[in-house]
Amino acid sequence: MGAATGRNNRARVLRAALPCLALIALSGTAAQAQTVTPDLFSSRRASQVTSPDSPLRRTSAEVNDPLASPKLQDDEKRAPSRIGQIPKYGLPAASGAADSGYDSLNRKRKKPKYYPAQARPKPPVGPGSPPPPIASNTPLRLSIPPSESANKTRLAPAMAGTVVGQPPRKRLRIDDDPFGAVGDYAGSFLIKSAVELSGGYDTNPGRLVPAQAKPFYVIAPEFLAVSDWERHALVADLRGSFTGYGSSLTPNADGTPLSAPLDIDRPNFIGHVDGRLDVSRDTRLMAQGRLFLSTDNPGSPNVQAGMAKYPIYTTVGTTTGVDQTFNRLQVSAGATVDRTDYTNSRLTDGTSTTNDDRNFNQYGGIGRVSYDLKPGIKPFVEVQGDSRVHDVKLDRSGFARDSSGGYVKGGTSFEFSRLLTGEIAVGYAARDYVDPRLNRLEGLLVSSSLVWTATPLTTARFYSDTTITETTLPGTSGVLTHIYTVEVDHDFRRWLTAIGKFTWGSLDYQGNPRRDKIYTLSGEALYKMNRNLWLRGTLRRDWLDSNLPGNSTASTVVMLGVRVQN
């Protein structure tokens, strides 16, 4: 039973297989096996290889299917394996910084862009914020006065510059002198003017032995005009004074003439007009016109005995030159012409004598070379030469006064932290005369102008100068004069200033045994009521010490005055 059943099953399989084999043999087509590729198990759609005529090819709808996008398929790739990789912890530098935020790598960030007229936000006050810009011509203050932090009247937003969208206001220059003259503008010129009226008492105005005291008054006008141009410059500085006494001096009882005039009124004027023409950045043409008017100093041996009034002399001159800069090297050269004229001397007997022998013309030149060694230090060398030609060949004593001479000096100008500024120079001056009987006039030349700001309230100044002047003394070549001055100013308040001054000097009459020394000690108090009105008080003591007997004098001056300025 079991064996029969097995034979029946095998017979059925053979009967089914034989027709299939016959069909394959008759078709004549070889059967091909499907190739297994790496894409066989890929997750991509229709990734298996198919023939072009296969009914299993992708249709156009399937090609445009958004789910079949290559980008989307790339995003579905597996993450790279971390097996065997070194682990990294934390966040990379500046991974969370914005375009304008803080970057620990100090990379440049994009600056925000603003549309026109949009208000720019102000940087916060504190470390890292730049300070407000300061104008180049603004002086550096040594300390902040208490008034800067005091409670002040509030300003309108338009004046304070806090209105949104308002252009920034120009930074005003710090006023060094809050009680100084403001002046007025006339076109492009700033004009300042002032007049000072003073009255006082002088114990010996004529420098006589014995002394005669007199009250006096002084009228001193001033005028200053300064151009306000981007290029070129023009400055006019005119200052004068007139000292008058209520009465004349008393003649000697024995009839001998006084060594001083009876009328001791004295005018004084000094003025100059300076011009600069900027040809280029490094080339400038310079010019100056000057006028000096005065009299001989009281007690001078040039004052004739028995005069009724001081003779007045004037010096008119001009200087023209050029100033050239070669990088740090600066070269200046100029020509000078001056004319000195004396009026006739009026005597007490009503007659007059001429002073034509004291009139002369002076022609000369001056040159200066300086080098900007470093900021604040500028050494220089200066040379000057001139020739004096008198109107009269022989003076009243029969001496030929025509001469030629000059000086050479070297020094430096400096500025140390604005605490010590100025210029100092030392040199040699000499003058030779046509008359062989007049010895050569020569000596050491010292010239300086120093300003030391000891404290914000105290300033010290030092001046020195050396001059060679003419004289009428017989056999005397000239006078070599050295003058030194020390001045200390102290501000108790901005409106109250005390000034102390000491001056000493020597007058060397070469060719003459006379030697004079002068000393002056003075103190002043200046009360500034406002910008237009000042009050001044002065106490001064003068000494003239001469090696010749009968020529030493002393005088005390007390003076009170008021100054009106604009």
Domain residue limits, the chain: 184-353
Angle at 113 (CA atoms; ends 108, 116), nearest 5 degrees: 150
Lowest mean pLDDT among 34-48, 424-438, 501-515: 34-48
pLDDT surpassing 80 at residue 508: yes
In angstroms, the CA 522 to CA 487 distance is 10
pLDDT surpassing 80 at residue 108: no
CB-based contacts of 171-176 (< 8 A; 24+ apart in sequence) = 171/132, 171/133, 171/134, 171/135, 171/138, 173/135, 173/137, 173/138, 174/138, 174/139, 174/141, 176/139
pLDDT surpassing 90 at residue 92: no
In angstroms, the CA 80 to CA 83 distance is 9
In angstroms, the CA 327 to CA 332 distance is 14
Neighbours of 207 (CB within 10 A): 23
Quick one: average pLDDT of 448-459? Answer: 92
Quick one: average pLDDT of 184-188? Answer: 92
At residue 153, the pLDDT reads 73
At residue 450, the pLDDT reads 93
Q: How far apart are the first and last CA of the chain?
A: 151
Q: Which two tokens stand for residue 124?
A: 């916060």
pLDDT surpassing 90 at residue 124: no
192-205 burial, b at 16+ Cβ within 10 Å, e below that, comes to bbbebebebebebb
Lowest mean pLDDT among 117-131, 219-233, 292-306, 345-359: 117-131
Which residues pair with residue 174 across a beta bridge? none
Q: Which residues neighbour 179 within 8 Å (Cβ) at sequence distance 6 or greater?
A: 494, 495, 528, 530, 531, 534
At residue 259, the pLDDT reads 87
At residue 47, the pLDDT reads 46
Quick one: average pLDDT of 155-162? Answer: 75
Query: What's the mean per-residue pLDDT of the chain?
Result: 84
Q: Which amino acid does the sequence have at 261?
A: P
Quick one: average pLDDT of 232-247? Answer: 95
Specify the DSSP class assigned to residue 38. Answer: G
In angstroms, the CA 37 to CA 99 distance is 50
Q: How many residues does the chain have?
A: 566
Quick one: average pLDDT of 360-380? Answer: 94
pLDDT surpassing 90 at residue 76: no
In angstroms, the CA 218 to CA 243 distance is 5
C-alpha 300: how far from chain center: 42
Compare 54 and 488 and report the one with higher pLDDT. 488
pLDDT surpassing 60 at residue 98: no
Quick one: average pLDDT of 403-425? Answer: 91
Q: Which residues neighbour 535 within 8 Å (Cβ) at sequence distance 6 or greater?
A: 526, 527, 529, 560, 561, 562, 563
Lowest mean pLDDT among 155-159, 190-194, 224-228: 155-159
Residue 241: which of 271, 221, 223 has the closest Cα? 221
pTM: 0.69
143-172 burial, b at 16+ Cβ within 10 Å, e below that, comes to eeeeeeeeeeeeeeeeeeeeeeeeeeeeee
Residue 449: which of 490, 486, 418 has the closest Cα? 486
Residue 264: which of 295, 230, 221, 240 has the closest Cα? 295
Compare 92 and 296 and report the one with higher pLDDT. 296
List, for residues 25-48, the tens digit of each pLDDT value: 555 444 444 445 545 454 555 444
Compare 149 and 562 and report the one with higher pLDDT. 562
Q: Contact, 436 vs 412, CB < 8 A? A: no
Compare 34 and 365 and report the one with higher pLDDT. 365
At residue 166, the pLDDT reads 76
At residue 19, the pLDDT reads 59
At residue 141, the pLDDT reads 60
Task: Tell how many helices (H) and how many strands (E) occur in the chain.
Answer: 4, 21
Neighbours of 303 (CB within 10 A): 21
At residue 423, the pLDDT reads 93
Q: Contact, 463 vs 449, CB < 8 A? A: yes
Quick one: average pLDDT of 211-227? Answer: 96
